[in-house]
Amino acid sequence: MKKFFTKLFLFTGLQLMIISAIFAYLIIQDKNLNYPQGKTESALISIPENINTDILIMGSSHGRMFSRNKNHETVEKILKKQIINIGASAAGVVPEKLFLKYFFYKNNSAKTILYIIDPFVFSTSKWNEDLYFLAEEPFKLDFFFLTLFSNVSIDVKYNYIKSKFKHDWHEYNASRMPVTTDSLSTPDSSSINSRIKAIYPDGLNLITFKKYDNYLQEIVQIARDHNTQIIFIIPPSLLGKQPLTDELIKSLQNLHTKYGYKYYDFSLSIPNSYYYYNHDHLNNNGIKYFTEKFIIQTIL
């Protein structure tokens, strides 16, 4: 029996040493990653420590667009505000809740959250707990432990570690971003229909919407716990009125009634394809125009 426990102790100790070595490797590898916000798709790289910012942007790629390429500097200049962006490509309320918790965990504060919120992120787990959003993120041990106790799937948690064993992972993930300077020539109905099917892969289900609306309520509570107001923006696109828009607006109306949070439906506000690089993403000119004509009015 004594030999058994000795072997068990040695085996357990060896496993702990291996795990510690893996964590040390990942931490050291990513420790000095430092991209300007306009040159990274990573939310974690953008999250500082002990900083008070004017505006914290949240959302999917429609939120991330406010920082891509040179948009970050442009938007800060127009609004005359300091901005931190934790939006992430395709990110629904589950990933964004995790980033928000980490933002406050690092002893940061924000006067206002500008949440660029899309109806489609309430339609499926694909944009939430099953989204492989951590492939773009550097390995941070404190964030990893926060992730362990979150609602993201086991596969997503495992992929967070697995994706970092390529030494130049950040060249393909964290610093990768689309070309945002082109303009769409003419809206195409076939492409619009294909895009709608792509962003609503599981169709429409009000039970699913309610599930993710509950996560939105949790995000609101986190913001309230840190004395941060939220402004909700449904972003413009050429897709027309999207499914679940009415349900989302009803939820935002309730938040306005309860807490006074402002919300704006700008989904049909920019019909000119010149301002888009595809059917639902503003290009650089579009971000500048949208910020000057619409966003600036919401934060006054």
Q: What is the rounded distance in angstroms from the CA atom of residue 45 to the CA atom of residue 86?
A: 9
What pLDDT is stored for residue 46 in this prediction?
A: 85
The structure tokens listed for 192 are 């619009």
Strand partners, 276: 282
Kindly state the average pLDDT of the residues 23-38: 56
Confidence of residue 38 (pLDDT cuts 50, 70, 90): confident
Helix (H, G, I), strand (E, B) or coil at 278: strand
Nearest CA to 21 out of 174, 165, 135 is that of 165
What pLDDT is stored for residue 169 in this prediction?
A: 60
Rounded to two decimals, the pTM is 0.89
CB of 146 closer than 8 Å to CB of 101: yes
Q: What is the rounded distance in angstroms from the CA atom of residue 259 to the CA atom of residue 248?
A: 16
Confidence of residue 45 (pLDDT cuts 50, 70, 90): confident
Kindly state the average pLDDT of the residues 241-259: 98
Architecture of domain 38-298: 3-Layer(aba) Sandwich (3.40)
Confidence of residue 58 (pLDDT cuts 50, 70, 90): very high
Q: What is the pLDDT of residues 67-81, one digit of tens each?
A: 998 899 999 999 999
**What are the distances in angstroms from CA 154 to CA 129, 161, 272?**
9, 11, 42
Q: What is the pLDDT of residues 193-204, one digit of tens each?
A: 999 999 999 999
**What are the distances in angstroms from CA 14 to CA 7, 22, 120?**
10, 12, 46
Q: For the beta carbon of residue 292, count every other beta carbon within 10 angstroms.
A: 14
Kindly state the average pLDDT of the residues 191-215: 97
Kindly state the average pLDDT of the residues 226-253: 98
Q: Which regions of the chain does DSSP assign to beta strands (E)?
A: 52-59, 83-85, 109-116, 229-234, 262-265, 276-278, 281-282
Average pLDDT of the chain to the nearest whole number: 88
Confidence of residue 20 (pLDDT cuts 50, 70, 90): very low
Q: What is the rounded distance in angstroms from the CA atom of residue 51 to the CA atom of residue 195?
A: 38
What pLDDT is stored for residue 5 in this prediction?
A: 44
Nearest CA to 114 out of 258, 268, 287, 285 is that of 287
